[in-house]
Amino acid sequence: MNNFTFIFLCLFTIVFSGTRHKENNVRYVEGIFYQDDRPVKLEITGGKITSITPIKKLSGSRRTLYIAPGFIDNQVNGYNGVAFDDTAITVEDIHKATTGLWKAGVTTYLPTVTTNDGRIINKNLATLAKAKADDASLGSIAGFHIEGPYISPVDGYRGAHLLKFVRKPDWNEFMDFYQSSGNNIIQVTLAPEVEGAMDFISKCKEKNIIVALGHHNASAQVIDEAIEHGAQTVTHIGNGIANSINRHVNPLWPQLADDRLMISMIGDGFHLLPEELCVFYKAKGVDRTMITSDVTSYAGMPAGEYITTEGEKILLTADGELKYPAQNVLYGSAAPITKGIGNVMKVTGCSLSQAVRMGSTNAARLYNFKDRGELKPGMRADIVLFDIENFNIHVRKTIVNGHIVYDERE
Ligand SMILES: [Zn+2]
Burial degree of 373 (CB within 10 A; 0-12, 13-18, 19+):
buried
Asked whether residue 124 falls in the same domain as residue 92, the answer is yes
Peptide bond preceding 149 in cis form (omega within 30 of 0): yes
Asked whether residue 397 falls in the same domain as residue 251, the answer is no
Q: Is the distance from CB of 213 to CB of 190 less than 8 angstroms?
A: yes
Closest residue by Cα to residue 105 from 375, 350, 326, 394 = 394
Across the range 298-308, mean pLDDT stands at 95
Q: Residue 372: inside a domain, yes or no?
A: no
Residues measured by CB to lie within 5 Å of ligand 1, the ion: 240
Instruction: Please give the distance, rounded to the nearest whole angstrom, from the Cα atom of residue 236 to the centre of ligand 1.
Output: 7
- The string of pLDDT tens digits covering residues 263-293 is 999 999 999 999 999 999 999 999 999 999 9
Asked whether residue 179 falls in the same domain as residue 225, the answer is yes
**The predicted structure's pLDDT at residue 23:** 54
Asked whether residue 361 falls in the same domain as residue 392, the answer is no
Binning pLDDT at 50, 70 and 90, where does residue 11 land? very low
**The predicted structure's pLDDT at residue 37:** 96
Instruction: Please give the distance, rounded to the nearest whole angstrom, from the Cα atom of residue 197 to the centre of ligand 1.
Output: 18
Asked whether residue 83 falls in the same domain as residue 17, the answer is no
Instruction: Please give the distance, rounded to the nearest whole angstrom, from the Cα atom of residue 250 to the centre of ligand 1.
Output: 17
Instruction: Please give the distance, rounded to the nearest whole angstrom, from the Cα atom of residue 237 to the centre of ligand 1.
Output: 9
Instruction: Please give the distance, rounded to the nearest whole angstrom, from the Cα atom of residue 213 to the centre of ligand 1.
Output: 10
Instruction: Please give the distance, rounded to the nearest whole angstrom, from the Cα atom of residue 159 to the centre of ligand 1.
Output: 7
Q: Residue 115: inside a domain, yes or no?
A: yes
- The string of pLDDT tens digits covering residues 191-235 is 999 999 999 999 999 999 999 999 999 999 999 999 999 999 999
Residue 401's CATH number: 2.30.40.10
Q: Is the distance from CB of 380 to CB of 372 less than 8 angstroms?
A: yes
Instruction: Please give the distance, rounded to the nearest whole angstrom, from the Cα atom of residue 332 to the centre of ligand 1.
Output: 9
Q: Is the distance from CB of 205 to CB of 229 less than 8 angstroms?
A: yes
Q: Is the pLDDT of residue 410 over 90?
A: no
Count structural domains, the chain: 2
For all residues of the chain together, what is the average pLDDT? 93
Asked whether residue 207 falls in the same domain as residue 60, the answer is no
Q: Residue 386: inside a domain, yes or no?
A: yes
Instruction: Please give the distance, rounded to the nearest whole angstrom, from the Cα atom of residue 377 to the centre of ligand 1.
Output: 36
Residue 320's CATH number: 3.20.20.140
- The string of pLDDT tens digits covering residues 231-260 is 999 999 999 999 999 999 999 999 999 999
Helix-strand-coil split of the chain, %, nearest 5: 35, 25, 40
Asked whether residue 57 falls in the same domain as residue 17, the answer is yes
Q: Residue 236: inside a domain, yes or no?
A: yes
Q: Is the pLDDT of residue 154 over 70?
A: yes
Q: Is the pLDDT of residue 3 over 70?
A: no
Asked whether residue 43 falls in the same domain as residue 188, the answer is no
- The string of pLDDT tens digits covering residues 110-119 is 999 999 999 9
- The string of pLDDT tens digits covering residues 119-152 is 999 999 999 999 999 999 999 999 999 999 999 9
Instruction: Please give the distance, rounded to the nearest whole angstrom, from the Cα atom of residue 43 to the centre of ligand 1.
Output: 39
Residue 209, number of CB atoms within 10 A of its CB? 19
Asked whether residue 45 falls in the same domain as residue 124, the answer is no
Q: Is the pLDDT of residue 13 over 90?
A: no
Asked whether residue 164 falls in the same domain as residue 47, the answer is no
Asked whether residue 188 falls in the same domain as residue 261, the answer is yes
Q: Residue 291: inside a domain, yes or no?
A: yes
Q: Residue 101: inside a domain, yes or no?
A: yes
Domain that holds residue 30: 3-67+377-407
- The string of pLDDT tens digits covering residues 378-395 is 999 999 999 999 999 999
Asked whether residue 63 falls in the same domain as residue 74, the answer is no
DSSP 293: -
Who contacts 333 (Cβ-Cβ below 8 Å, separation ≥6)? 266, 268, 270, 271, 293, 294, 295, 296, 299, 322
